[in-house]
Structure 1
């Protein structure tokens, strides 16, 4: 149940609701630091607490690293009446590295779900292609704002994919950082 004390303590509005949004500690205000192919599993490269991680094999030495989280909006301090009646904006944002490993090195998939965690109220999918111009390793921002999505939203399922390429010496990864899901009142 909603209480002003819970609202004050949890501060569910205007903050990032994802756990470990920057697991590798990368700063988007600087070019992505150079990387070498590695044999280490992704989990050894940072704090990925809260992320469910899997790999999807592709052809020609390519694969996707798939990382996802499902945010329980009620557990984060929001309440049903606010979500259903006011429908505050839900903003998703992410930054990915222009790694030049392929024409498309990143995908974002987000679903707004009802209490059963499977019925979809709204969704957003994007797979941007990079221009291939400029220095490799610069950061590209991807964002989307859900508005007027209808009543019933209780969960935000956030999933992003980054492309990898197997090279001599190990796996070269496309990095991602500062992933976020936040809720704001309309202005």
Structure 2
């Protein structure tokens, strides 16, 4: 069961496995990189764009006993901006119990990202959060800072959620 629990982290399968939770007038786009650094990425527009996956850990093969031992959960995400427009990046990751009540949350402050920011990684590891983990909610996105129509906002790709293996 090791490896990334998020499906379609680069947009290779369009928006498959993602719920578009905020996708107004000018929605998300998927774009290809002009080089080999990243194959594809999700791009936000001038309106707030958010997308989410909720991972069912039991369906993913984890047993309740192991999940109740509070294994370390590591989340990673990558963001960047275009050369001509800045963006705002948002991330919220929540550990949820069987009723989908929040056990713990990682929600850094929104990041205002200047134009031409190279790919930047955000990472966090949940530790010591107690028993009850059954689901993980991963939501991210953002928008541009100039309110330009089109896909000038923050870009996201390479998202991952991993759980430490049993010792």
TM-score w.r.t. the length of structure 2 is 0.76
- 2:20 is aligned with 1:20: no
Per-residue CA deviations over 1:123-182 (Å, capped at 9, x if unaligned) read 01012344x4xx8141010011001110001000000022135536x3423211100111
Unmatched tracts of structure 1, length 5 or more: 1-11, 25-45
Give the RMSD, CA atoms, in angstroms: 2.4
Q: Any stretches of 5+ residues in structure 2 without a counterpart?
A: 26-44
- Superposed CA deviations along residues 45-82 of structure 1, whole A, max 9, x for unmatched, are x621000113258xxx9311101000001111111000
| Aligned 8 A contact 1:67 1:160 in 2 | yes
The answer on 1:175 being equivalent to 2:155 is yes
Residue 151 of structure 1 aligns to a residue whose secondary structure is coil
Contact preservation (8 Å) 1:56, 1:66: no
Structure number, greater radius of gyration: 1
Counterpart secondary structure, 1:93: strand
Measured after TM superposition, the shift of residue 106 of structure 1 is 0.4
Determine the structure 1 residue equivalent to 2:48.
64
Q: Which portions of structure 1, spanning 4 or more consecutive aligned residues, are displaced by more than 4 angstroms? A: none
2:138 and 2:151 mapped to 1: Cα distance? 24
Task: Provide closer, same or farther for how the CA distance between residues 171 and 22 of structure 1 changes in structure 2, counting only shifts above 3 A.
Answer: closer
Residue 14 of structure 2 corresponds to which residue in structure 1?
47
Higher helix share: 1
SS at match of 1:167: coil
Secondary structure in 1 aligned to 2:65? helix
